[in-house]
Amino acid sequence: MKKALFLDRDGIINVDKKYICRQEDFEFIDSIFELCRFFADKGFLIFIITNQAGIGRGYYTDKDFLILTEWMKEQFKLNGIIISDVYYCPHHLDYGIGKYKIDCECRKPKPGMILKIANRYDVDLVNSVLIGDKIGDIKAGESANIENNFLIKSGYQEIYDFKSVKSLLSYVKEIKI
């Protein structure tokens, strides 16, 4: 079994500017490449798991999201990092339109995306790591039995573990992951 790093996208990989679907609006978080390189060097597979209610709300399309995702993955590759896969949930029970207005198992805080990845890639969830900026991210990790869940400060909660990706990176370099 393989260890994995699960990352939320908006707020962890890029500055969360609400419903980002274009390259010109995408701004990488400081130290994200360094953090990912640290985990990759330790043999972790890297996955992005992201709620994308903007699709369900009709703000942008799956195609828009996938184009941006391919560009983002290429930026990681240019920085020496391979993103193993990106899973996203376009659904929203309250605000989704048409086929997107459902209560699915993939929308965080449910662990559906994590469990699908674990099954497909033979991931050891107990020894994996999840980094998110919302309590729902952490709840998804806990529900999937990930023991190392890290909450980064954002505008979405008052209680947080780390002020930035950089402070988390300093911490994980000191512990045995």
> What percent of the chain stands above pLDDT 90?
80
The whole-number pLDDT of residue 30 equals 86
The whole-number pLDDT of residue 120 equals 98
Strand partners, 79: none
Which domains does the chain carry?
4-53+64-88+109-174 (3.40.50.1000)
Beta strands in 8-136 (DSSP E): 45-51, 85-89, 129-132
The whole-number pLDDT of residue 137 equals 96
Dihedral sign of CA atoms 71, 73, 78, 79 in order = positive
Beta strands in 29-128 (DSSP E): 45-51, 85-89
* 29 DSSP assignment: P
Catalytic residues: 8, 10
pLDDT tens-place string over residues 158-171:
445 666 777 787 87
The whole-number pLDDT of residue 104 equals 95
pLDDT, averaged across the chain: 91
More confident call, 67 vs 97: 67
Categorize the per-residue pLDDT at 154 as very low, low, confident or very high, splitting at 50, 70 and 90.
Answer: low
Q: At what angle do helices 165-174 and 32-41 cross, to 10 degrees?
A: 20
Strand partners, 86: 48
CA gap 101, 53 in Å, rounded: 10
pLDDT tens-place string over residues 113-131:
999 999 999 999 999 999 9
pLDDT tens-place string over residues 8-28:
999 999 998 889 999 999 999
* 80 DSSP assignment: T
